[in-house]
């Protein structure tokens, strides 16, 4: 019974989807055209786009623009969509024209709404006071309130050297907090090195140029000398050898004088 219900729901969804797609296409010879073709808007900013629903064999009253927010000014088959402040995530704007065969020919605006990271910070996972060379540690870069996280690239740096680029698997359109990690194995020469991370929103050619970038503070690595006591012992042995050498010289000198 339950299985049948699922089947019914699944087939209705499939029907609705295919129906929607076919109603958006089968006998269409042309599709509405948006200008600009893609819109990248900062959250809270104004936006506008023009749609020409049809350019040949058109009747003006058979066109329209579906919009959840903003307003539309129509002149024949040309429509201007404007919004004073875009403060809705994941909205869609669809422009259509009904042709003589009764089909709806439509295009959906390629719209992305973005928000630069509010803050970016770097730390060591399970930070311990003592850090040693040739041990593995995990660096963590936390990015807060960024959208869309899909367009985000996080880069870890040691000084000016990029250590790795990371991206999110999330398809969330609304702002998210996300943490990226990178394992490092510091060497002796990394003592005192500064680690930091950079969050860059790459929104394509329609997006802001240069892309928004937010960087973390710098984290200084302080390594404890590994097996410090052995180091001291080596130094002592060396110095005592030098002492013996000096003593031998003196002895030779004295015996030469005598």
Q: Residues in the site for ligand NAG, rule: CB under 6 A?
A: 48, 75-76, 82, 125-126, 138, 144-145, 175-177
CB nearer to ligand NAG: give 76 or 204: 76
| DSSP classification of residue 59 | -
Least separation in angstroms between CB 117 and ligand NAG: 11
CB nearer to ligand NAG: give 138 or 240: 138
Least separation in angstroms between CB 183 and ligand NAG: 10
Q: How many CA atoms lie within 13 A of 181 on its CB side?
A: 7
Cross-strand pairs, 122:
141
CB nearer to ligand NAG: give 81 or 96: 81
Least separation in angstroms between CB 158 and ligand NAG: 20
Please identify which residue in the block is written with the tokens 């041990």. 135
Termini Cα distance of the chain:
116
* Torsion sign across C-alpha atoms 80, 49, 113, 63: positive
The CA distance from 171 to 174, in Å, is 9
The CA distance from 115 to 40, in Å, is 11
CB nearer to ligand NAG: give 104 or 141: 141
Please identify which residue in the block is written with the tokens 């269409």. 28
Least separation in angstroms between CB 165 and ligand NAG: 21
Least separation in angstroms between CB 244 and ligand NAG: 49
DSSP H helices, the chain, are 2-23, 228-257
CB nearer to ligand NAG: give 28 or 131: 131
| DSSP classification of residue 110 | E
The CA distance from 80 to 75, in Å, is 9
Tokens of 129: 């006071």
CB nearer to ligand NAG: give 23 or 50: 50
Least separation in angstroms between CB 54 and ligand NAG: 14
Least separation in angstroms between CB 204 and ligand NAG: 16
CB nearer to ligand NAG: give 82 or 191: 82
Beta-carbon contacts of 103 under 8 Å, excluding residues fewer than 6 positions away, are: 23, 25, 26, 27, 28
CA angle 241/243/247 to nearest 5° reads 115
């Amino acid at each position: 019974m339950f299985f049948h219900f699922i089947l019914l729901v699944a087939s209705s969804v499939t029907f609705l989807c295919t129906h929607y797609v076919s109603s958006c296409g089968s006998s269409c010879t042309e599709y509405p055209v948006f200008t600009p073709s893609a819109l990248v808007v900062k959250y809270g900013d104004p936006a506008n786009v023009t749609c020409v629903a049809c350019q040949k064999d058109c009747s003006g009253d058979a066109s329209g623009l579906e919009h959840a927010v903003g307003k539309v000014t129509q002149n024949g088959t040309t429509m201007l969509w404007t919004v004073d402040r875009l403060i809705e995530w994941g909205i869609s704007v669809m422009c259509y024209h009904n042709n003589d065969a009764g089909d709806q020919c439509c295009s959906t605006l390629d719209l992305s709404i973005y928000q630069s990271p509010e803050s970016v910070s770097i730390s060591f996972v399970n930070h311990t006071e003592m850090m040693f060379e040739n041990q593995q540690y995990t660096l963590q870069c936390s990015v807060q309130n960024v959208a869309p996280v899909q367009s985000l690239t996080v880069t870890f740096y040691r000084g000016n050297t990029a250590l790795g680029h990371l991206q999110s698997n999330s398809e969330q359109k609304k702002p998210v907090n996300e943490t990226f990690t990178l394992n490092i194995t510091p060497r002796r020469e990394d003592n005192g090195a500064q680690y930091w991370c950079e969050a860059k929103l790459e929104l394509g050619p329609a997006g802001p140029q240069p892309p928004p970038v937010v960087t973390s503070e710098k984290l200084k690595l302080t390594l404890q000398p590994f097996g410090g006591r052995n180091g001291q012992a080596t130094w002592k042995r060396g110095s005592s050898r030098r002492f013996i050498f000096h003593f031998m010289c003196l002895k030779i000198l004295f015996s030469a004088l005598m």
